[in-house]
């Protein structure tokens, strides 16, 4: 399974390093064989010699150049980073990234062989519009994406469940994952208010290959417990 932490705009570099060190100790002490990914804030990226895979929450599709406020592969290469999160709902809806821009980013990082965690998910009004409209909306987020890319991981994250404490029912997650599995053979993570209290049951759902955790992952101890649940289930 794949257990991923999206640290968003939290933790300094020093805090991130000690967080990663704590996870690394847990993984080693418990002989964990699951894949653990951490996406730190951009300025908290650093050398990483641990068992934890560190990825970028974002980068521009460029090596370098004139893209104020962005980083490129020069900056990722400095730390040997080969994993990137693309299409997170906060980038789609708060930062205004379009599907077109995401496809360009996807293709650029695919060409370079990056592991890509690509996020999809519907806002509340689409969920309330019924199953057909919701699935149609999610389908548009697959447009232009090579769903057979070998280093692809997809994360299904309903926008209304992110950071809100709300989650779909386990049955809903199961049925959406079943549908999404038809679109791509890539591992499919669930994300959106996963906590230490519900992670075990979410991970146990068929067609859930892991979790992408935001707020609850900020507690290293909680996140380690989630890694432990995944290990137990495998």
The CB-of-214 to ligand PGA minimum distance in angstroms stands at: 2
Contact positions with ligand PGA (CB under 6 A) in 167-206: 191-194
CB 213 within 8 A of CB 6: yes
Nearer to ligand PGA, 6 or 48 (CB): 6
Is 201 catalytic? The answer is no
Alpha helices in the chain (DSSP H): 13-29, 73-77, 89, 99-111, 124-128, 131-140, 170-181, 199-203, 220-233
**Total of chain residues touching ligand PGA, rule CB under 6 A:** 13
Q: CA-CA distances (angstroms) from residue 117 to 3, 31, 67, 147, 164?
A: 12, 25, 23, 12, 22
Is 177 catalytic? The answer is no
Q: Which of 65-73, 125-133, 209-217, 224-232 is the region at the interface with ligand PGA (rule: CB under 6 A)?
A: 209-217
Does the footprint of ligand PGA cover residue 116 (CB under 6 A)? no
Rounded Cα distance between 42 and 126, Å, is 31
Does the footprint of ligand PGA cover residue 214 (CB under 6 A)? yes
The CB-of-70 to ligand PGA minimum distance in angstroms stands at: 20
The neighbour count for residue 211, using CB atoms within 10 Å, is 27
Active site residues: 88, 157
* Residues lying near ligand PGA in the complex (CB under 6 A): 6, 157, 162-163, 191-194, 212-216
């Amino acid at each position: 399974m794949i257990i991923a932490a999206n640290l968003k705009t939290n933790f300094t570099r020093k805090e991130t390093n000690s967080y990663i060190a704590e996870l690394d100790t847990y993984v080693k002490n418990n002989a964990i064989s699951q894949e653990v990914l951490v996406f730190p804030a951009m300025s908290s990226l650093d050398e990483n010699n641990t068992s934890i895979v560190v990825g970028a929450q974002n980068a521009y599709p460029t090596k370098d150049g004139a893209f104020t406020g962005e980083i490129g592969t020069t900056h990722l290469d400095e730390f040997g980073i080969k994993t990137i999160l693309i299409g997170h709902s906060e980038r789609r809806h708060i930062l205004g990234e379009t599907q077109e821009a995401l496809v360009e980013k996807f293709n650029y990082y695919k060409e370079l062989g990056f592991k890509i965690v690509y996020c999809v998910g519907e806002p509340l009004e689409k969920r309330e519009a019924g199953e057909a409209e919701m699935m149609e909306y999610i389908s548009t987020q697959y447009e232009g994406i090579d769903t057979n890319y070998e280093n692809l991981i997809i994360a299904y994250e309903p926008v209304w469940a992110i950071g809100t404490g709300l989650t779909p029912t386990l049955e809903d997650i199961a049925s959406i994952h079943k549908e999404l599995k038809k679109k791509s053979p890539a591992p499919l993570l669930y994300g959106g208010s996963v906590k230490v209290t519900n992670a075990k049951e979410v991970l146990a759902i068929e067609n859930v290959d892991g979790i992408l955790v935001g707020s609850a992952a900020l507690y290293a101890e909680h996140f380690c417990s989630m890694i432990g649940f995944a290990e137990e289930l495998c």
